[in-house]
Amino acid sequence: MKIEKTSKSGSVGKSKKTSKTSSADGSFGKLLKTGGVEGAQAASSASMVSSVDMLLAVQASEDPTQKAAKTRMKNRANIILDQLERIKVNILTGELKTEQMLRLADMISSHREKITDPALTSILDEIDLRAQVEIAKMKKALDSTVD
């Protein structure tokens, strides 16, 4: 590819000053005396926004005791689910023992803390209900073998 013609860029013009940077009419002094109304309004609205952001951040932060309670209840739920899984395997293999059901019953009857998270509470309720159903089925099976 051959470049045939090159052109010069346009010349850079000098800037023209239309007004002087310092004015003798004292407008800067007047601005200081009035307090710069526009600047004060902008600063006021910025501080209001930062205050609202701070309040939202405080509301969004979780209470440490509530966080610890959630952790304990999640651990409790995991233990119950593990025991239910072991019971299921032992039922299938024919090795179910009453001590496993007693451990599960103890875990269910253990203290359950109050949690403000409705989704987690719902899940914990379902796990507890499932464990109680398994315990009731085992009791019924034991009662029928004793009679």
Residues 53 and 74 in one domain: no
pLDDT above 90 covers a percentage of the chain that reads 3
Q: How confident is residue 136, by pLDDT bands cut at 50, 70 and 90? A: confident
Task: Determine, yes or no, domain membership for 110.
Answer: yes
Residues 86 and 131 in one domain: yes
pTM, two decimals, is 0.50
Region 100-108: mean pLDDT is 82
Region 83-99: mean pLDDT is 87
The dihedral built from the CA positions of residue 9, 10, 11 and 12, taken in this order, carries a sign that is negative
CA atoms of 97 and 112, how far apart (whole Å): 26
Query: Which amino acid is present at 138?
Result: M
Contact 87, 104 (CB under 8 A): yes
Half-sphere exposure of 29 (CA within 13 A, CB side): 5
Structural domain span for residue 41: 35-60
40-89 confidence digits (pLDDT tens): 555 555 666 677 777 777 666 667 788 888 888 888 889 888 988 998 89
Residues 115 and 45 in one domain: no
Higher per-residue confidence, 103 vs 6: 103
Contact 110, 76 (CB under 8 A): yes
Instruction: Provide the domain count of the chain.
Output: 2
Q: How confident is residue 30, by pLDDT bands cut at 50, 70 and 90? A: low
Residues 42 and 71 in one domain: no
Residues 99 and 54 in one domain: no
Residues 47 and 78 in one domain: no
Task: Determine, yes or no, domain membership for 20.
Answer: no
Query: Which amino acid is present at 13?
Result: G
Task: Determine, yes or no, domain membership for 9.
Answer: no
